[in-house]
Amino acid sequence: MKEIVPVERIDITVEVPGSKSLTQRALIAAALARGTSVLSGPLASEDTAYTIAALRAMGIAVNDEDSGCWQVHGAAGKIQVPAEDIYLGNNGTATRFLTSVATLGQGTFHITGSDRMGRRPIDPLLEALQGWGVDIESDSGNGCPPLTIRANGLAGGTTVLPEGKSSQYLSSLLLVAPYAEQAAELEVRGEVYSKPYVEMTLTVMSSFGVQAEASPLLNFFRIPQVGYQGREYAIEGDASGASYFWAAAAITGGRVTVANVPVPSLQGDAQLVPLLARMGCDVSRSSKGGLTVRGPKRLKAIEVDMGDMPDVAPTLAVVAAFAEGTTVIGNIGHLRIKECDRLSAMVTELGKMGAEVEEQKDSMLIHGCAGGKNLHGAEIETYDDHRIAMCFAVAGLKVPGVKITGEQCVAKSFPDFWDRFALLGK
């Protein structure tokens, strides 16, 4: 358990680790590429360690001894069958991406994960892969891992993703499509959530030499049979991780500059900053690069659709508890299939602190009080979810007595979070 110490004043410039989303996408493209890639500024975390271990088991050589610069020796789309099951913990991104990567092999692959991963749906991805001729099934028959893949390559042609509820399904299919036996086409039915993550995937693919054709609504794609080429690739600082530092400035009336999230950013989560501006924060681009947020004397409530940036919805919910008025965070039903049911978790834990919060099917309403005057300390349950731990740490900068249980869960995406967060009090 970690108790957060409130701070009087924040005025600091910080850097955050590399983007988890970009690191995992670049690892997949580099692993499938012809030649060697050098990834600079990657994220070394629990999640990326699972991804690297799985790639190595599939015959990809990855040298990550230098934490700031990794070498990936691509196998030109040729995947080996691992000697053992591929265990991916609660790494949803890797589970979805590597499921598709495994289809490029020849033989039986078995992908497993934690108990929570066994309750996170993946059936839409399985249906789309079956449309490309893949023999794949959920072992328990519930559309969740563990999975068995009897791989014989990817036929290609046309397939349908029956829903876009998780952008990771779509990104997974796009990343492997260049290695199909015939040119691949992909249709998505229903609303495509988290579009910036899909755009990020397309940009990474383009950087490694594959230019996919996408419709304006990102619901239809044509992917050429052109393999990736190894290259040097620089990874941005993680905007999701940066969100906690920008939020710290917002609720304390201080200043925080995150130096290594560029403007513009490939990451949709950087769009949290304009939302903070709507709440009254002063936002500027640092002369040395990066984004600066200065908190106001009084935050004000907003209404926002966060369908495209679900990972920072919990961060905004915490800020909203310190704002005057009712903040409505909508279109976040997909938070329920993350590392935990984040929508429910946020409502429960903010309630423990005295906040008045309403949970709806795909939204939450936070009835805030200026400066968080109605809030008090509480013991926060993290549900083994890194984002719950980090966003409630922000609340503890203003409210005495906030204690985070299971605080080590931040290792999933931000291993040295507590060290960097402690800098805010110096």
User: Is 139 known to be catalytic?
Assistant: no
Tell me the residue ranges of DSSP E strands in 235-310.
255-258, 282-285, 291-294, 303-305
Measured CA angle at 348 (ends 347, 350), to 5 deg: 65
Catalytic residue (one of 238, 269, 308, 311):
311
CB 385 within 8 A of CB 410: no
Position of tokens 């099951």? 85
**Which positions ≥6 away from 376 have C-beta within 8 Å?**
353, 354, 399, 401
Cα distance between residue 29 and residue 175, in whole Å: 7
Measured CA angle at 14 (ends 252, 317), to 5 deg: 40
Tell me the residue ranges of DSSP E strands in 23-138.
36-40, 61-63, 69-73, 86-87, 106-112, 135-138
Neighbouring C-beta atoms of residue 141, cutoff 10 Å: 8
HSE-up (13 A, CA, CB side) for residue 177: 28
Active site residues: 311
